[in-house]
Amino acid sequence: MLDAQTIKTIKATLPVIQQTGPDLTAYFYNRMFHHNPELKDIFNMSNQRNGNQREALFNAICAYAANIDNLAVLLPAVEKIAQKHTSFAIRPDQYQIVGTHLLATIEEMLNPGDEVLAAWGKAYQVLAGVFIQREEEIYQHGEHQPGGWRGTRAFRIAQIQPQSSVIKSVELQPVDGLPVSAYQPGQYIAVWLKEAGFSNQEIRQYSLTRAADGRSYRIAVKHESQGTVSNWLHQHARAGDTVHLAPPAGDFFMQALPDTPIALISAGIGQTPMLAMLHSLANEKHGAPVVWLHAAKNGASDAFSDEVSEAGGRLTRFEKAIWYSQPAADDRGRYQHQGHMRLLEVEGLISGPAMQFYFCGPLGFMQSIAQQLSELGIDASHMHYEVFGPHKVL
């Protein structure tokens, strides 16, 4: 626990930290990677270049300082970050490296004096302790459940299958031939790669796209023109290649009672966690309404459409609606609505007060969906979403 003087000092200096903006975290990351370049094998350097990670860390620091006397409100954010950290196999000693560079950054940028540095040092140690404890719990859970493991495990690419003009699915089987751990529909696995031509080891999280079967995993990857890992998986990976996986993780997943109506809403590659949810509902013969709402550019980019129809066909109360923003001439019959997704067009399908809404897609899409749901009177407690990459609040 932090003493009253430390809390007072943190709150008093927070406005100065806030004035720096993400410049503070940019300085921090540059300093850390200069002194500890081995951490480039852990961090996603693409998120460093586009600024997303810097912004996310800055927001997290400010949120922690603002709520330092009421840490309970931060527990959902702690869980989300801790789940991500375990997919990177973060170790306790690495928290000490981060703490050293964070305090040095505050000192070198702001020169606040020993008392302030001591207060921030105490505060960081408390927060690091919370993460270390929670992450150890996650590690132990992943290691001790049937088919589980700790750290990384070798998997062989069993099949690569095109699903659209920009998306391929990849099936992964364990090299040791032993069972693999189950997961909740909506969770992800981390793929670890260090291929010839890579500047650093690369780690990426990909949603699992079908119900757990205890034998293998399937992910789906969108080809990004500047994406190091997606480019390798699309253009160079072959069946038989070996990659390494961390155990399934993630705090975004579906938990539905048999009588709970479910809406699964997605755009583009955001449909991947929704696929696992749909397959799980179909396997469980979910009796309540299930609604599938998806947006794509056109038929060529609309992945898994046949699979969605097959899974939905195993449900007794299934409805779907598809939006194409730029349909091609031969797309007739594949979509119901043109343009961007407008929930008012399907209000009758999603108006039940008990319905739970799960959605994923590009950030702007999810912000739009959250706003539309709010305008339809949906309580925030019924909205569940996943942001690919560093977390943002919609």
pLDDT one-digit tens code per residue, 267-304? 999 999 999 999 999 999 999 999 999 999 999 999 99
**Does the annotation flag 387 for ligand binding?**
yes
pLDDT at 48 over 80: no
**204 marked as part of a ligand binding site:** yes
Do the annotations mark residue 272 as ligand-binding? yes
pTM over 0.85: yes
Predicted pLDDT of residue 195:
87
Using alpha carbons only, give the angle 332, 337, 339 rounded to the nearest 5 degrees. Answer: 105
Q: Is 335 annotated as a binding residue?
A: no
Amino acid at 172: L
| Mean of pLDDT values over 365-372 | 96
Determine whether the annotation assigns residue 290 to a binding site: no
Q: Is 95 a catalytic residue?
A: yes
The identity of residue 14, as a single letter, is L
Report pLDDT for 58.
87
Note the pLDDT of residue 51.
Answer: 67
Tell me: the pLDDT tens digits for 56-93? 888 889 999 999 998 889 898 899 999 999 999 999 99
pLDDT digits (tens, 9 = 90+) for 12-37: 999 999 999 889 999 999 999 999 99
Task: Tell me what pLDDT residue 394 has.
Answer: 56
Out of 135, 171, 202, 386, pick the active-site residue: 135
Q: Give mean pLDDT, residues 351-363.
A: 94
Q: Which of 87, 29, 34 is nearest to 58 (CA)?
A: 29
**Residue 165 in marked binding region:** no
375 vs 209: CA distance, rounded Å: 30
List the domains of the chain with CATH numbers. 4-144 (1.10.490.10), 153-249 (2.40.30.10), 262-386 (3.40.50.80)
* pLDDT for residue 389: 57
Q: Judge contact between 99 and 89, C-beta under 8 A.
A: no
> Which is the catalytic residue, given 27, 29, 64, 95?
95
Average pLDDT, the chain: 94
Handedness of CA 54, 56, 57, 62 (dihedral sign): positive
How many CA atoms are closer than 13 Å to the CA of 264, on its beta-carbon side? 28
Predicted confidence at residue 197, as pLDDT, reads 82
> Cβ(366)–Cβ(360) under 8 Å?
yes
Q: How confident is the model at residue 1 (pLDDT cuts 50, 70, 90)?
A: confident
Residue 170's CB is within 10 A of a number of other CB atoms, namely: 24
